[in-house]
Amino acid sequence: MKKWTILTIAVLAAILLVMQYLIEKKKVAMSESGQQAGSAEQQLGVALPESATTYTGAAVDNYVPDYVGGAQYGTITMPTIQSTYKGACEASSLQDMLASHDKYWGFLARDAAFNQNETQKMYDYLADYTACQAAARTDASLCDSLPSDVQIDGKKVDVRITPNYRCRTKTVSLFFEAYRAGNISGDSYCRLGVGTFDKQDLERFSVPEFCSVLPKGQEAIEGFLLKAFAVDSPEAKARVRGAFPVKEGDCAKDKECLTKYELYNAVKKARPDACPNDYVQQCRALAERSAVPCEKTLQEMSKFYCAAVARVKKASGGYIGLSKEEAKVELDKLKAQRAEADEIKKQQQKIMEEVNKQVRETLKKK
């Protein structure tokens, strides 16, 4: 019995030793794992290579604003733009015309509304008026109060015919040339224009450096860009001159180039009337830093609006701004009212005839 007791104690002791060994081994493994985890955490805190931070800095430095579109369609609101002009006819002030957007006119207007050409004309007038206001304040953000992207019956409208796009394109072009001519300062105006450049081209040069060179003249621009692109051919020089013209001969009759030249030349010489025809009021507003020249565009817009409203009212029987279904409901109401009026008239006539008959009979008896 004593022998079995001793044997049992020995076995239990062995088991305890094995368990203790396993526990110690697990502790060591956990300790090593913790050291490895700590090492990994330290690696996460290591500073990025200098090249990585340089890249990030260059990306921020070369920031140019992207075109992101404007407001939603529906009633257009421009709270910062006010006008005392009451309009060329009743209810044709700026606020009246904006309130009727997508009702009387607009891409999403009802059936009894302006036709496509009339709507486009209204959008162009509105874009030009807003661009003029933007020029007066040297603030391109005013264009963002105008709508841009829209779909009609599932088909996307070409953004280039939207008022936001037209306003921004004209404003950015004018500001860029004015900056190049030394009329306005602040490289934000330069960056707006650079935002229209090919994105791959922007990787070849520093935007701040380019903007600092831009007002220094065509030769300075040419030298900067030829060096940045590592080219020096006559063709490359001609392209630079065409992109930044200072005389008509730089353009080789290219229409876009001629517009740039006319804007640059007009601003440089402080002759706003020398701007392209559809920029004249905008150039005047920039030169005067005043919105007064913009009123001419607003007056033309109002006059056109009045004529279009009159045409639609005549064609729709007065139901402008209504859908076909709504117009039918209104027409049915009118028919019912007329029928009711006719019935009342008939009843009145019948009563009068009866009264007259009784009067005649009474007179005969006398």
Please say whether the beta carbons of 111 and 264 come within 8 A.
Answer: no
Q: Which band of pLDDT confidence, cut at 50, 70 and 90, is reported for residue 152?
A: confident
Q: Which tens digit of pLDDT belongs to each residue from 90-122?
A: 999 999 999 999 999 999 887 779 999 999 999
8-state DSSP, 146:
S
Q: What is the phi-psi region of residue 135: left when phi exceeds 0, alpha when psi lies from -120 to 50, beta otherwise?
A: alpha
What DSSP string describes 223-290? HHHHHHTT---HHHHHHHHHHS-SSGGGSTT-HHHHHHHHHHHHHHTT-GGGS-GGGHHHHHHHHHT-
Rounded Cα distance, 332 and 336, in Å: 6
Q: What is the pTM of this model?
A: 0.73
Q: Report the sign of the C-alpha dihedral through residues 59, 62, 67, 68, in that order.
A: positive
Q: pLDDT at position 114, please? A: 94
How much is the pLDDT for 346? 75
Report the alpha-carbon distance of residue 269 to residue 287 in Å, rounded: 11
User: Is the pLDDT assigned to residue 225 strictly greater than 90?
Assistant: yes
Q: What is the band of 150 on the pLDDT scale with cuts at 50, 70, 90?
A: confident
- pLDDT exceeds cutoff 90 at 131: yes
Domain boundaries, the chain: 94-316
Q: How confident is the model at residue 193 (pLDDT cuts 50, 70, 90)?
A: very high
Say how far apart CA 315 and CA 92 lie, in whole Å. Answer: 19
Q: Which amino acid is at 217?
A: G
> How would you classify residue 24: left for phi > 0, otherwise alpha for psi between -120 and 50, otherwise beta?
alpha
Q: Cα 169 to chain center, whole Å?
A: 10
316-322 contacts at long range (C-beta below 8 A, 24 or more positions apart): 316/112, 319/112, 320/104, 320/112, 320/113, 321/100, 321/103, 321/104, 321/109, 321/110, 321/112, 321/113, 322/110, 322/111, 322/112
What number of H helices and E strands is found in the chain? 14, 2
Q: What is the pLDDT of residue 339?
A: 62
**Tens digits of residue pLDDT in 237-254:** 999 999 999 999 999 999
Supply 183's token pair.
């009329």
Token couple for 39: 């090492």
* Per-residue pLDDT, 19: 52
Q: Which helix (H) or strand (E) holds 206?
A: none
Q: How many angstroms separate the Cα of 222 from the Cα of each of 230, 240, 349?
A: 12, 6, 92
Which has the closest alpha carbon to 146: 169, 123, 172?
Answer: 123
pLDDT digits (tens, 9 = 90+) for 346-362: 778 877 877 777 767 67
Helix (H, G, I), strand (E, B) or coil at 207: helix
In this prediction, residue 30 has a pLDDT band, given cuts at 50, 70 and 90, of: very low
Determine what percent of the chain is predicted with pLDDT higher than 90. Answer: 56
Question: What's the first-to-final CA gap in the chain, in angstroms?
Answer: 159
Least confident of 35-44, 170-179, 225-234: 35-44
Q: How far apart are CA 284 and CA 132, in angstroms?
A: 8
User: How many whole angstroms separate alpha carbon 354 and alpha carbon 362?
Assistant: 12
Return the structure tokens found at 310: 């009159």
Taking a C-beta distance cutoff of 8 angstroms, is the pair 355, 344 a contact? Answer: no
Nearest to 77 by CA among 135, 157, 144, 151: 144
